[in-house]
Structure 1
Amino acid sequence: MQHPERRLLISVDMERYSRRSNLQQYEAQRYFRELLHEAAGAVGLDRVAWTTQQAGDGELAVVPREVSESRVIGRFVPELNRRLRNHNSSRLPAARIRLRVAVHQGLVHLDGANGFPGNAVIFVCRLCEAEPIKRALATFPEAGVALVVSTEIFRDVVTEYPEEMRPERFVRIEVAHPDKDFREYAWLCVVDEDLTAVVVPGVSPTLGEDAAQAAEKLVDTTEEKAANSATEHGEIRTGDIRVKGQNAIGSGATAIGSLGRDANFGTSRGNPQ
């Protein structure tokens, strides 16, 4: 097993794919790939270098390390939206291609036997499957792309390097899959539409908060909950060191560092034996 790599992950799904006839699915797949490649090429991205896992109605892409996150979100996504709108303008609703796009980053194994193992992969796919993003795309029949990004991506990329995106058009949503024990916050927009001006079930405004501050608050809250949970379970974290045991102090306590080895602490001064 190779070491995992931290990468940008993109999950893409076609709207209403299963409702198409066999021939319509065949055509949709062909145009789907063409439009993705053309949009990437138009903004200087080489899609051939992307590592992808294909599905009939979409794909999961692991983007190369050297690719700029701001270019993917701030230029590739808007370009894809423009091309989809142009493609759909001359087609009946049943033949149109409209996409849900989710973006996240995290550790992923690229040498999996049947895909890309990693919680970040599961996370980005859960975002793409969220009901609020489906409802938001359905609210705007002429739209090409509904984009949902993790809180970290929104804070670090969208608000800092917006390129052609408008951070104020993003709204905060809760992504919940109770049957899969998944509940997280994310940020959603329908490209070139004002989602903040309509009421969509499951989509909440930022309640007047500055978007970047709201994203920062969510990240801080998540980290605080993780720290509290560790303390409740008799565990103390200091940087890369996690100490656990009887009250996390004294004889029998265990320290676990980044190398994954346990160091037992003695009774005299707490020095590793």
Structure 2
Amino acid sequence: MDPSSPYRRTVDLPPYRAILAVDAKDFTAQPSIVHQPMSGLILDLVGDAFTTAGLAAAWQRPAFLGPTGDGFAVGLSPQILPHLVHPFGRVLQERLAAYNRDARTDQARIRLRVSLNVGPLPVDPADPHWTGNGTARNDTHRLLDSKPVKAVLAGTSDRVTHVACIFSDRVFQDVVVAGYTEMHPDRCIEVPATVDGKAFAQRAWLYVPESTGFLPALTTPAPSPDSDPVPPTKAPVAPAVSGPRVRKNWGQVATSPGSMTQHTGGAQ
């Protein structure tokens, strides 16, 4: 009997891991000759952000690290989840802003989507590049590829907004709502995370360290994975402005008629 077959015997649950995944916008649109150096550069830039955020030790000894060409997924101790929520996103935004500002005109701007999740995953410290596989990691990649976080980078300035983060509901509830990080829950926007062509639909939370222009209306509740797909809506988009905000249903922003919509920019 295959010991890995499900439902045949009871086994110990693997340790929980924080899973952070990164993906670069428009990576495949670049000439093939620059793909390899860009992949290394992305690792270097994210590594710099880890160091600046005080997480150098975690970055140097991950539970697993799996490059994907235009990004990677890394497994880390769940204890540092609050720091990955904040200040890591803000620090990465600042690091990419500095890089893109100083980049030559013939160099592509690097803008990153970041997803953060947590769950049980088996790892092998002797072979960190080929372990850490499981549903929690798969879901982290699905969040990274979901419509809302892609829409943020597509709809904001490539000269100001360099990072868009998406947190799983588990991370949001256990870390943000529970108060283990400096980030206030109102900094996040609830979104339905769905991926074209995939049987994936989860409640998730957007965080944009530095927003520009308009943010799409993306607060429709996430459909059940077993339900029929919900057709996209074309709701009018209002300018994002600051002002009094009331949290509703764990972080949705209630707005007065015709007055304002979600705003996620600004310093912490």
TM-score higher than 0.5 here?
yes
- Residue from 250, 257, 266 that aligns with 1:213: 250
Mark the structure with the bigger radius of gyration.
1
Query: Which of residues 172, 182, 192 in structure 1 aligns to 2:200?
Result: 182
Work out which of the residue numbers 32, 49, 55 in structure 2 matches 1:39: 49
Q: Deviations over 1:2-51 (max 9, x none)?
A: 85111111111011100001233233223211111111111221211112
TM-superposed CA distance for 1:204, in Å, is 2.0
2:156–2:215 contact (8 Å) kept in structure 1: no
Partner amino acid for 1:179? G
Deviations 1:204-259 (A, max 9, x none): 289x76267358xxxxxxxxxxxxxxxxxxxxxxxxxxxxxxxxxxxxxxxxxxxx
How much does 1:97 deviate?
Answer: 0.8
Q: Which residue of 1 aligns with 2:216?
A: 200
Structure 1 residue 179, shift from structure 2 partner = 3.3
Report whether the alignment pairs 1:57 with 2:76.
no
Q: 1:27 to 1:128 in 2, by over 3 A?
A: same
* Distance in 2 separating the partners of 1:200 and 1:94: 29
Aligned length: 209
1:190 offset after TM fit, Å?
Answer: 1.6
Q: Work out the CA distance in 1 between the residues paired with 2:200 and 2:36.
A: 33
SS at match of 1:200: coil
Alignment partner of 1:104 out of 103, 106, 117: 117
| d(CA) in 2 for partners of 1:17, 1:69 | 27
Please give the alpha-carbon distance, in whole angstroms, between the structure 1 residues aligned to 2:42 and 2:196.
31
User: Paired residue for 1:147?
Assistant: 165
The Cα RMSD (Å) is: 2.7
Residue 185 of structure 2 contacts residue 251 of structure 2 at CA under 8 Å; is this kept in 1? no
Unaligned stretches of 5+ residues in structure 2: 5-11, 222-244, 253-268
Q: Distance in 1 between matches of 2:72 and 2:40?
A: 13
Secondary structure at the counterpart of residue 102 of structure 1: strand
Q: Secondary structure at the match of 1:23?
A: helix
Q: Is the 8 A contact 1:167 1:211 kept in 2?
A: no
CA distance in 1, matches of 2:82, 2:118: 13
CA distance in 2, matches of 1:214, 1:25: 38
Q: Is the 8 A contact 1:24 1:95 kept in 2?
A: no
Query: Is the alpha carbon distance of 1:30 and 1:118 closer, same or farther for their aligned partners in structure 2, counting shifts above 3 Å?
Result: closer
CA distance in 2, matches of 1:19, 1:174: 27
Cα distance change on mapping 1:214 and 1:79 into 2, 3 Å: closer
Superposed displacement of residue 154, structure 1: 1.2
Query: Which of residues 114, 125, 128 is equivalent to 2:144?
Result: 128
Q: Specify which structure has the higher proportion of strand.
A: 1
Label 1:178 to 1:193 Cα distance change in 2 as closer, same or farther (>3 A): closer
Taking structure 1 as reference, are residues 178 and 98 closer, same or farther at Cα in structure 2, changes over 3 Å only?
closer
Q: Given that residues 171 and 205 in structure 1 are in contact (C-alpha distance below 8 angstroms), is that contact kept between their aligned partners in structure 2?
A: no
- Residue 238 of structure 1 corresponds to none
3-state SS, counterpart of residue 110 of structure 1 = coil
> Where does structure 1 lack aligned partners over 5 or more consecutive residues?
216-273
